[in-house]
Amino acid sequence: MTTYFGAIADDFTGATDLASLLARSGVPVSLRVGIPEGPPNRTAPLEIIALKCRTAPVGEAVAAALAAFEWLRQAGAQRFFWKYCSTFDSTPQGNIGPVAEALMKALKADQTIYCPAFPENGRSIFMGNLFVGEQPLAESPMKDHPLTPMRDSNLLRLLQPQVKSPVGLANRHVVAAGSEQLEHRLQELRKAGVAHVVTDAVANADLATIAEACRDMPLLTGGSAIAMPLPELWIKQGFVTRSETTSEDQPEAGSAIVLSGSCSSMTNRQVASFIAKGHPGFKLDPLALAQGGVEEVFEWLSDQTADASPIIYATAAPEDVRAAQAKLGTARAGAIVEATLAACAVKARDRGFRRFVVAGGETSGAVTKALEIRRLTIGKEIAPGVPWCFAQTDGRPVAITLKSGNFGAENFFTEAFERLQS
């Protein structure tokens, strides 16, 4: 198949989120974990490359994104997408803006849009301000994110320090007036030298309007939801077609496990709900891990029965996270947890576990890398933007879902395993 659309995601949960929404169209989607080795072959019309660069140094993130871009261009991609979190997770240095500008330069594009809205999951943008449910971003639990605390809700103010060119806004009134009015607004901003345009969206209808107006832009950026309407537009234009076949991938029989590194408010509730249902749990303590290593959790995992569906988690309240960071340093505390959960994933696989639920973007990247998973097939959605995926690890088929911290309801972990059996 010829590749038409190439997406680069800044973490693994975001990549599966995007793949899930694109797959609703029926157009074949392929998700690659990391930059593929060798030249493109057996590519799909919609190709996604998942990177682990959300919190990487800016130079590393830009270099990785450009390498992924080059592979996608060799695969034949004509349209490109830079996917980041629907809560705009970043720092004043990046990496959202610097990667976008690097991709724009590579494509000789003079303008792109920024739209992290995801109405199905309660993410909306109004007058340039990002809301999480009814809360402004800076008043939501994201203000306490351990790596990218979001202390401003205004996307223009968040983006401007990250880019060299001016930032502008296409507000809700323009979007509500339709795609022609939005196109006109974008042209006005382009003439004024505005290269980076934050685009309001509060409902799926807004996403459709934005996609219609921007479908011919060589580069779009945003959360997964803004890309969702694009395949239908391209089907009508004859650039892509639906597949007549569906994936039959299933993991072999084996036990299930949850590995949770996210410290989001929702994941805290999900962990508590899962344990309250009787599943055995082991809480990781970064300080104890720094002193004693992983043997204690390995021994605990070895004692679990095949039908227990255990959970190993570092999920904690914000004050506990800050206490660990104060003693170990932010980077070291996070790295210890990621490495431990990744090691537990390998240990679980070697003990016969074949169903993995992984919570948290950084954790998902570490686990996927440790399991040496290079490509994922997209399966059933568990919640909006969170699908089951199928892959090979050590020659064995497994099912794995990579959940962004804030996604899913309180019973997500239980619902995920039930969904796989349905």
Secondary structure (3-state) at 324: helix
- What is the set of domains in the chain, with CATH numbers? 5-237 (3.40.50.10840), 255-421 (3.40.980.20)
- Per-residue model confidence (pLDDT) at position 252: 63
* pLDDT tens digits along 359-406: 998 899 899 999 999 999 888 899 998 999 999 999 999 999 999 888
Name the percent of the chain lying above pLDDT 70: 97
* pLDDT tens digits along 149-173: 999 999 999 999 999 999 999 999 9
- Which residue's entry shows tokens 């004043």? 92
Total count of residues recorded for the chain: 422
The two three-digit tokens of residue 242, written as one number: 């639906």
Q: What is the pLDDT confidence band of residue 247, given thresholds at 50, 70 and 90?
A: low
* CA–CA gap between residue 357 and residue 257 (Å, rounded): 6
pLDDT at 194 over 70: yes
User: Could you tell me the CA-to-CA distances from 130 to 17, 278, 318, 380 in Å, in that order?
Assistant: 19, 37, 22, 29
- Per-residue model confidence (pLDDT) at position 143: 92
* pLDDT tens digits along 121-130: 999 999 999 9
- Per-residue model confidence (pLDDT) at position 331: 83
The DSSP secondary-structure symbol of 160 reads: G
pLDDT at 264 over 90: no
The DSSP secondary-structure symbol of 94 reads: B
pTM (predicted TM-score): 0.84
Amino acid at 305: T
